[in-house]
Structure 1
Amino acid sequence: MAASGRQETFTLEAWQQAGKWFSYEGHAIFSRMGGQGEPLVLLHGFPTASWDWSRIWPMLVREHNLLTLDMLGFGFSDKPLHYSYSIEDQADLIQGWIEGLGLERVHLFGHDYGTTVVQELLAREQEGELSFAISSVCLLNGGLFPEVHHPLFIQKILRSPLGGLIGRGLSRSLFERNFRRLFGSRNPPGRQDMDDFWHLLNYNNGRGVLHRLIQFMEERRCHRNRWVGALQKAEQPMRLISGGADPVSGAAMARRYRELIPQADVVMLRNVGHYPHFEQPWDVYSAYREFRKAQ
């Protein structure tokens, strides 16, 4: 694969066809697994899905037993309309999945929304509530510290009392205009990419639950001490890979990470936005491989 990361290995249809579903609280959850080696769990962001990892998957799968899923309310998984979505519930989903597979140790790699789930799992491990060990943690562009998180205007109004109407009425053009702002200049999404992201958002009436899912931003504020403390107390190797051009959780988040996390390990990617693993998968893979080899 070229270092630019432009080549796509999977179509969205092929990604879906290679997956499997399992049940969580009576709801169907889409998952994908592949490869050999130590288990590496990939956790996606908002409002997208496990598809975000498709460009880096062929690189990682050569060396790791990869596990990923679409969390409840996202992607190809069920999106119940009247459900109390929360980070803690998504962590229950991930924890139960890992424990159900009988895994004793896992490495975690989270992006955006997924980084907050990682923080909750770290807190649970530190409290002795997991039956498995977390061997290492890698984080990509997430709202780890709510005080330096800068949501887009569309995200703010989705959290408002009008959020349900805004989500259901979200047009393709409005979505695309806002979504493109998240990407850096090196590798912006093409037309097919936008078709795929829009399809995933709409699958199973996904726009109808956006206003419920996005309440995680308030959860981050409410649970800040717990989730920031989990990072500060972590004893396993931990690295932040940050797209510096991300307007939501980029350079400012990386600076805060260096301020608050002991022996902070940060890799900055210039001119890369909120989706480094989709924009520059080779750079992210190289940074992750270096991180793991140092352990």
Structure 2
Amino acid sequence: MTGAAIADGDEPAWDEFSYEPYPLARIADDTSRYAEATPQTLKVSQHGEIEYLGFGAFGTHWFVEADGPVWHFVTAGDPADEVVLMVHGYPDTWWANAEVMALLSDEYYVIAVDVLGYGQSDKGPEVDVSYAGAAGSLAALLDKIGVSAFNLISHDRGTIVSENLLAIDGMSDRVSAYVRMQQSFDKPHGLPRPPHAAMASVEFQSQENLAGTAYSSNYGSVHFPERFLQRLNWEFSFPGTPEAAARTFQGTSFDIELAFRMENVIPKMTMPVLLIQGTDDPGQKAEEYMTSADLLPDARVALVAANHFLHAEDPHMVADLARELFSSGNANRPDRVFSHPVNFQFPAKN
């Protein structure tokens, strides 16, 4: 069943493919595709276990050790197809990308990771969950599972991990195209800024229902269903997440990241790049991105009438823009900055 689709009109109910509290149901018949990590930590999902993602597509869960830490990631699609790597933001896990994965999996082999420190990936005190540390281990994971070239999609703090990945010697040459969402680029982050000093504390990260609260706040343009929010909170509640998430915010800042990006990342972004920014995000203003594409040899900016969590608000929009970039680059759109329609899958907020 791995990567299989179901017939149009036969979309199953979620519960038909899940058990409480949420994932999974069946084991793939090709669990030898990736060698299972031993020992496997946080064994909630099973190596090779299949989950229904939506839109007629299935994903398979894997646990693989890379340079010490054990990574949890989910794949969808045919392994023989071109690879798309998805790196989630905060407060998220791989599951934030499930529907975009499903929409792309008919044409691409999509790999969505739990970044170190989050979800079911390693997060103990011995694990380097800094952005540079996670990027170095992610590079080792890609080597271990045989990914030599890939398209990249990142969101929010996953973009900082991805930029540290691009800064590694030779890695930018392996990225065929890059969709970059909801993160400051060449200008200082606007106001209000997320409170990174507070977010670097375990107390902040230990708040109940932190992920669902973020999605329901003014960083979201839609009313997400309660079951959706429950899954978000379940994904963000694995033991050790508050301690690890706090460590990811220590020793960094928007200004430090901007300086690093300008010096070490932007010069390496020679691949086709699409920056997608939601115009309703209260902290990231459209005017911050109007000239961003001018710094890169092959780039565009898509301004969409969505908020911060646009991958969940309109997965079709994200998948369509990604597919367009991956298949034809930027040649079909000469304008550096353009608007794109949004069709929310959930009811919009008033």
Given the two structures, how large is their TM-score scaled by the length of structure 1? Answer: 0.82
* 2:199 aligned partner: 158
CA distance in 1, matches of 2:137, 2:261: 18
1:123 aligns with 2:161: no
1:167 aligns with 2:202: no
CA distance in 2, matches of 1:108, 1:71: 14
* 2:129 aligned partner: 85
1:76 aligns with 2:120: yes
- 1:55 counterpart SS class: helix
1:222 aligns with 2:259: no
Cα shift at 1:233:
4.2
1:28–1:121 Cα change, 3 Å = closer
CA distance in 1, matches of 2:212, 2:145: 37
Q: Do 1:72 and 1:90's aligned partners in 2 also have CA atoms closer than 8 Å?
A: yes
Aligned length: 280
Cα shift at 1:175:
5.8
Q: What amino acid is the match of 1:239?
A: L
Alignment of 1:18-167 (within 5 A): 18=50, 19-36=61-78, 37-81=81-125, 83-124=127-168, 127-128=169-170, 130=171, 133-145=174-186, 147-150=188-191, 155-159=196-200, 163-167=201-205
- 1:265 counterpart SS class: strand
Q: What amino acid is the match of 1:274?
A: H
1:26–1:102 Cα change, 3 Å = closer
* 1:190 aligned partner: 225
User: Which of 200, 203, 209 is residue 238 of structure 2 equivalent to?
Assistant: 203
* Gapped regions of structure 1 (runs ≥ 5): none
Q: Do 1:122 and 1:231's aligned partners in 2 also have CA atoms closer than 8 Å?
A: no
1:62–1:175 Cα change, 3 Å = closer
CA distance in 2, matches of 1:246, 1:8: 30
Given the two structures, how large is their TM-score scaled by the length of structure 2? Answer: 0.70
* 1:293 aligned partner: 327
Q: What amino acid is the match of 1:171?
A: E
* 1:254 aligned partner: 289
1:58-94 deviation line (CA, Å, top 9, x unaligned) = 1100110111210111012232146442111111121
1:259–1:147 Cα change, 3 Å = farther
Cα shift at 1:205:
3.3
- 1:120 counterpart SS class: helix
**Higher RCO structure, 1 or 2 (CA under 8 Å, sep 6+):** 1
1:95-144 deviation line (CA, Å, top 9, x unaligned) = 111111222211111111121222222222xx43x496211111111233
1:23–1:148 Cα change, 3 Å = same
Q: Do 2:115 and 2:134's aligned partners in 1 also have CA atoms closer than 8 Å?
A: yes
Q: Equivalent pairs: percent with the same residue?
A: 20
* 2:217 aligned partner: 181
CA distance in 2, matches of 1:256, 1:156: 29
> What CA RMSD, in Å, does the superposition of the two structures yield over aligned residues?
3.0
1:285–1:136 Cα change, 3 Å = same
Please say which structure displays the higher CA radius of gyration.
2
